[in-house]
Amino acid sequence: MNLDIVVIGLSVTSSWGNGHATTYRALLEALAQRGHRVTFLERDAPWYRAHRDLKPPSSWTVKLYHSLQDIPQQFGTAIREADLVIIGSYVPDGLAIAEWVTSHAQGICAFYDIDTPVTLSRLDKGLDYLSARIIPRFDLYLSFSGGPVPGMIEDIYGSPLARALYCSADIRLYQPQQLEMRWSLGYLGTYSSDRQPQLENLFIAAARALTGENFVVAGAQYPEGIDWPVNVERIEHIPPQEHASFYARQRFTLNITRADMRALGFSPSVRLFEAAARGAPILSDRWPGIETILIPGSEMLLVSTPEEVIQIVRDMPEEMRLGIAARARRRILRDHTPDHRARQLETYHLEAKARRRLPERRAASRPLHAAEL
């Protein structure tokens, strides 16, 4: 059965400073290819407006809105009549939007937490896009963290149904390419203070030791005070359509995980899927559950010290390097394509629909104050 799906997310038009856009693009395109009607609603934020890098989609729709009031006024009918409404994490005024949507939508309501480890670590301190009180009102909680985490969300926060929905990489964009190697090791990621110590330990220290090799860091918002070695090239931003060629010019690529994600485990980043789909040999920090995504030692390599990074970059035979990359890509094609994610979402929708107890959810809702809408 084809579904009418409305997604309210942080951004799909711009990948600048966020990993949400590439995740949404791959999923929405896969859903559209499977025959679903998909509309994405995005707040027209000036920082994304200035860095839009989405090629206008032909099979799904993007609509921009300017204020909280636009949700019921412009899109109220579409939300009410949709088979599935998904609200993403970090949406501006997301909590107020969730209040309205779960009170008025007739179809399944889902929360897609692209930032699950961050959300759970800060939920008790207060967030503007989610609260513990509202979680039970969503029919479905889609978590970026797998393993035991969805069960925790059900047991601790009362979600009727929580399931893992990892990101993925568009395999049409991320294919092996034969390009001239430019860097021995690269890293792609927006600056984060809790990732920076690992970048210093695993990347910058290795660059200082391997003065004859070239390194690269691509990503926005890095402070000016960072002391980059002279053999580290800095690129402020690379649009998604150029990610594949960026990976293709690296002998190895480094994956670094945010502290909350490492602590919770089972939380792979979109960069891990992108690099593996491209067939780039991956070095990654360690965290619980990584072996459920890629097999350490076979499909990727785990590193904890600069010495390990240095030895791999300097000494690994080419045949071994290429073998790791090829096995990683095979794993992505087998288990982690956007079509896999779209099929999972279809299954979760049916499961939520079967479990749904509409009167109880509606009874839990309350009228919104005028200040919220």
Q: What is the pLDDT of residues 106-164, one digit of tens each?
A: 999 999 999 999 999 999 999 999 999 999 999 999 999 999 999 999 999 999 999 99
Host domain of residue 255: 183-335
Q: What is the pLDDT of residues 294-321, one digit of tens each?
A: 999 999 999 999 999 999 999 999 999 9
pLDDT band at residue 11 using 50, 70 and 90 as cut-offs? very high
Q: What is the pLDDT of residues 62-74, one digit of tens each?
A: 999 999 999 999 9
Q: At 73, which CATH number?
A: 3.40.50.2000
3-class SS at 99?
A: helix
If DSSP states are collapsed to H, E and C, what string results for 1-22? CCCEEEEEECCCCCCCCCCHHH
Looking at the domain assignment, is residue 370 inside a domain?
Answer: no
201 and 149, same structural domain? no
354 and 238, same structural domain? no
Q: What's the whole-number average pLDDT of the chain?
A: 94
| Structure-token pair, residue 313 | 């970059």
277 and 141, same structural domain? no
- As a residue count, the chain comes to 373
Looking at the domain assignment, is residue 21 inside a domain?
Answer: yes
Q: What percent of the chain has pLDDT over 90?
A: 90
- Cα dihedral 132, 356, 61, 276, rounded to 10, equals 70
CA distances from 148 to 145, 264, 318, 348 (A): 8, 9, 38, 17
163 and 218, same structural domain? no
Angle between helical axes of 338-355 and 20-33 (0-180°, round to 10): 80
Looking at the domain assignment, is residue 37 inside a domain?
Answer: yes
Burial label, 6 (beta-carbon count in 10 A; 0-12, 13-18, 19+): buried
330 and 187, same structural domain? yes
Looking at the domain assignment, is residue 369 inside a domain?
Answer: no
155 and 22, same structural domain? yes
* CA 134/CA 152 separation, integer angstroms: 16
303 and 192, same structural domain? yes
227 and 351, same structural domain? no
3-class SS at 97?
A: helix
The count of domains in the chain is: 2
CA atoms within 13 A on the CB side of 228: 14
Q: Which of 355, 308, 298, 367 is nearest to 136 (CA)?
A: 355
- Cα dihedral 334, 336, 341, 344, rounded to 10, equals 60
Contact 241, 174 (CB under 8 A): no
Q: What is the pLDDT of residues 176-215, one digit of tens each?
A: 888 999 999 999 999 999 999 999 999 999 999 999 999 9
152 and 8, same structural domain? yes
* CA 165/CA 145 separation, integer angstroms: 8
288 and 243, same structural domain? yes
Residue 285 has a pLDDT of 97
Looking at the domain assignment, is residue 211 inside a domain?
Answer: yes
